[in-house]
C-alpha cells in the first residue's frame, strides 16, 4: 500500500493486550488504567484475520506489543500460526522483559527472532522506582537468556529522562562493548501520563550523543540494523553492538513512516500521535468479507498525516501509550 504522500506501508504493529505487569511512571498512572472489558479486546482469531487482510494489502512485517504482550494467553500459538503464512517476512516483539526467562525459548521456536526490550535504568533501586515495583535482576537475566538463545538483533529501548537516567547514558553505551546489544535512546514523547513529565525530563538525542562521545570517543555511523525503523545507528570502536538514537521530538522521522497500528480493542490507528482511528472490530465481528476489510485498511492509510504535531501543541488528551500499543 502507498499513502497519499508516497510512503510505502508494509508494517503493522499489533497490540494484543492493554494489560501490563509494570506501572512505569511515563506510561501509566500509579493505579494503572481502566483496561477494556475482555469482550472488547480482539480475540486471537480476530487478530489473525486482520493480519491475513494486512498481508493481502502488502503488509508483511508484524510487531506484537501491549501493554505487555507476553501476558496474553495464547501468544505462543498465535505467533506460530502467523509465522506459517506465506508472505510474512518478519515477526518481532516489544516487551518489558519480565517474562523472557520463562518464555524466551518458546518465542524463538515459534518464529520470533527480533526483540525490543524496554529498560530505562541499570540501577536496581531506580528500576523499582520507575516501574513501581519491578525487579531489575529478573529483566537482566531475561536479556542474558535471549542473547544465549540466539535472538538477533536484541534492542534495548531507553527513554531518555533528565534527572533520572542521564548519568547512565554512558553506562548504557558501554554495554555495547561487551554484549551484541543495540542500545537505543528514545526522546520522551508527551503521550498520556508522560505529558506532565515532558518539560522537565526531556533530553534530546544530540545531548546524549555528545555526552557519550565526550566519555567514550567518536561514534561512527553504522548501516541500519534489521528492523531499525527510525533509529540512527552508530558504533564505538571495537564494540559488539550499536548505539541508536530515535529523535522522536527534535527531528521527527515521519517522512519515512511505513506503519499502521492495531489497538487491542480493534482500532486501526494511522499515526501514534494522531487521534484518528478506524474501527476494525465491528467489521470483524459482523462477518465482513475480505473486500470490506481491505477498504478499512485503505481508509486508515488515507488518514495518515504528513507528520505529527507533538512539538507544536498536540492535545494532552487521548489514549496513553499502553492503550495504543508501545
Backbone φ and ψ of 114, nearest 5°? -115, 135
**Per-chain mean pLDDT for the chain:** 90
Q: How many CA atoms lie within 13 A of 49 on its CB side?
A: 20
3-state secondary structure of 218: coil
Between 321 and 112, residue with greater pLDDT: 112
Domains annotated for the chain, with CATH where assigned, are: 11-324 (3.20.20.70)
How far is the first Cα of the chain from the last one, in angstroms, to the nearest whole number?
23
Q: What is the pLDDT of residue 321?
A: 57
Q: What is the pLDDT of residue 308?
A: 66
Please give the grid coordinates belonging to residue 301.
492509510
Whether residue 125 has pLDDT greater than 70: yes
List the single range of 146-155, 200-209, 227-236, 280-289 with lowest mean pLDDT. 227-236
Which pLDDT band, with edges at 50, 70 and 90, does 311 fall under?
Answer: very low
- Please give the share of the chain, as a percent, with pLDDT higher than 70: 88
Whether residue 314 has pLDDT greater than 50: no
Angle at the Cα of 262 (from 287 to 111), degrees rounded to 5? 95
Whether residue 145 has pLDDT greater than 60: yes
Which pLDDT band, with edges at 50, 70 and 90, does 223 fall under?
Answer: confident
* pTM of the complete model: 0.92
Q: What is the pLDDT of residue 43?
A: 98
What is the C-alpha to C-alpha distance for residues 283 and 267, in angstroms, rounded to an integer? 11
3-state secondary structure of 78: helix
Print burial letters for 310-320: b (CB count within 10 Å at least 16), e (below 16). beeebeeeebb
Q: Are 41 and 92 in contact (CB under 8 A)?
A: no
Whether residue 318 has pLDDT greater than 70: no
Q: Which residue has the cell 474501527?
A: 279
Mean pLDDT, residues 257-285 taken together? 93
**pLDDT tens across 90-114, in order?**
999 999 999 999 999 999 999 999 9
Whether residue 296 has pLDDT greater than 60: yes
What is the C-alpha to C-alpha distance for residues 100 and 133, in angstroms, rounded to an integer? 17
Q: Are strands 61-65 and 90-95 parallel, antiparallel or unpaired?
A: parallel
Mean pLDDT, residues 85-92 taken together? 96
What is the C-alpha to C-alpha distance for residues 108 and 206, in angstroms, rounded to an integer? 35
Which pLDDT band, with edges at 50, 70 and 90, does 29 fall under?
Answer: confident
Amino acid at each position: 500500500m502507498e499513502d497519499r504522500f508516497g510512503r510505502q506501508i508494509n508494517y503493522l504493529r499489533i497490540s494484543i493486550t492493554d494489560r501490563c505487569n509494570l506501572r512505569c511512571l511515563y506510561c501509566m498512572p500509579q493505579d494503572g488504567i481502566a483496561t477494556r472489558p475482555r469482550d472488547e479486546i480482539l480475540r486471537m482469531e480476530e487478530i489473525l484475520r486482520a493480519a491475513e487482510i494486512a498481508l493481502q494489502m502488502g503488509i508483511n512485517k508484524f510487531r506484537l506489543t501491549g501493554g505487555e504482550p507476553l501476558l496474553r494467553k495464547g501468544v505462543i500459538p498465535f505467533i506460530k500460526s502467523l509465522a506459517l503464512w506465506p508472505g510474512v517476512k518478519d515477526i518481532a516483539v516489544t516487551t518489558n522483559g519480565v517474562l523472557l526467562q520463562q518464555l524466551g525459548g518458546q518465542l524463538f521456536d515459534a518464529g520470533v527472532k527480533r526483540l525490543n526490550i524496554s529498560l530505562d535504568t541499570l540501577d536496581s533501586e531506580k528500576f523499582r522506582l520507575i516501574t513501581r515495583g519491578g525487579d531489575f535482576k529478573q529483566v537482566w537475566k531475561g536479556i542474558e537468556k535471549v542473547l544465549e538463545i540466539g535472538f538477533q538483533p536484541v534492542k534495548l529501548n531507553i527513554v531518555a529522562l533528565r534527572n533520572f537516567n542521564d548519568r547512565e547514558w554512558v553506562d548504557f553505551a558501554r554495554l555495547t562493548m561487551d554484549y551484541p546489544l543495540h542500545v537505543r535512546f528514545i526522546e520522551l514523547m508527551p503521550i498520556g501520563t508522560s505529558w506532565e513529565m515532558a518539560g522537565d525530563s526531556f533530553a534530546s538525542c544530540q545531548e546524549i550523543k555528545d555526552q557519550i562521545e565526550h566519555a567514550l570517543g567518536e561514534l561512527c555511523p553504522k548501516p541500519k540494523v534489521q528492523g531499525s525503523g527510525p533509529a540512527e545507528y552508530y558504533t564505538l570502536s571495537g564494540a559488539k553492538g550499536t548505539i541508536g538514537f530515535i529523535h522522536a521530538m527534535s527531528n521527527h522521522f515521519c517522512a519515512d513512516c511505513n506503519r499502521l497500528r492495531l489497538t487491542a480493542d480493534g482500532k486501526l490507528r494511522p499515526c501514534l500521535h494522531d487521534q484518528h482511528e478506524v474501527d476494525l472490530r465491528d467489521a470483524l465481528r459482523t462477518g465482513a468479507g475480505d473486500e470490506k476489510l481491505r477498504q478499512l485498511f485503505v481508509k486508515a492509510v488515507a488518514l495518515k498525516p504528513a507528520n505529527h504535531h507533538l512539538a507544536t501543541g498536540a492535545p494532552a488528551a487521548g489514549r496513553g501509550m499502553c492503550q495504543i500499543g508501545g
